[in-house]
């Protein structure tokens, strides 16, 4: 298999890991929200503020909720694809523990950059209502999901070789 194809497999695998990690992060935030008696839509409504203003932060489902979910899937899926490129470039295909540690660190760095600096500067109200510790744990879960990138890349390469 040529090198460019292998990098493409890792990019797709990183995208897959990033999106699955986003689902884990959102699932965690939903679980925490429900545990304190709030709506399961509240975490994604928090990010819908970026597109629809403070009125999007509702304790119930509203069509604006999907824009918050789309923001999370797009942002962290794209970050996962970038992760896949790096993993493919550096050839880190073994050592799950090392990848998991690097993924967790990446998640915490992304928490600081995307959530802590960018999102809070675009919509300061998010900083007021966001459960910061739960967001950090969600980013750790996202980072742990990234460690599966080599396995996903092998599966993608195998499926392409069978065809």
Percent of the chain predicted with pLDDT > 70: 93
Instruction: Please give the average per-residue pLDDT across 125-132, as a whole number.
Output: 88
Q: What's the total number of domains in the chain?
A: 1
Percent of the chain predicted with pLDDT > 90: 64
Q: How confident is the model at residue 47 (pLDDT cuts 50, 70, 90)?
A: very high
Q: H or E stretch including 12?
A: helix 3-35
Task: Show the domain range for 155.
Answer: 3-162
pLDDT at 90: 77
Taking alpha carbons only, the member of 2, 20, 9 closest to residue 93 is: 9
* pLDDT of 163 higher than 70: no
Instruction: Please give the average per-residue pLDDT across 149-162, as a whole number.
Output: 83
Q: 61-106 pLDDT, tens per residue?
A: 999 999 999 999 999 999 999 999 998 887 666 678 889 999 999 9
pLDDT at 79: 97
pLDDT at 27: 97
pLDDT at 162: 64
Token pair, residue 146, equals 């990234």
Taking alpha carbons only, the member of 146, 72, 143, 148 closest to residue 108 is: 143
pLDDT at 93: 61
CA dist list (Å): 79 to 38, 82, 126, 129, 143: 29, 5, 21, 24, 10
* pLDDT of 49 higher than 80: yes
Strands (E), 35-149: none
């Amino acid at each position: 298999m040529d090198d460019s194809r292998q990098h493409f497999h890792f990019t797709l695998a990183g995208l897959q890991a990033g999106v699955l990690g986003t689902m884990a992060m959102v699932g965690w935030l939903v679980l925490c929200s429900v545990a304190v008696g709030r709506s399961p839509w509240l975490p994604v409504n928090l990010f819908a503020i970026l597109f629809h203003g403070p009125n999007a932060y509702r304790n119930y489902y509203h069509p604006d909720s999907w824009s918050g979910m789309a923001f999370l899937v797009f942002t962290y899926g794209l970050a996962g694809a970038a992760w896949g490129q790096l993993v493919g470039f550096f050839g880190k295909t073994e050592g799950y523990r090392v990848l998991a540690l690097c993924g967790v660190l990446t998640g915490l760095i992304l928490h600081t950059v995307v959530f802590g600096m960018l999102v809070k500067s675009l919509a300061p109200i998010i900083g007021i209502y966001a459960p910061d510790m739960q967001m950090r744990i969600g980013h750790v879960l996202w980072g742990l999901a990234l460690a599966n990138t080599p396995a996903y890349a092998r599966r993608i390469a195998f499926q392409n070789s069978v065809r």
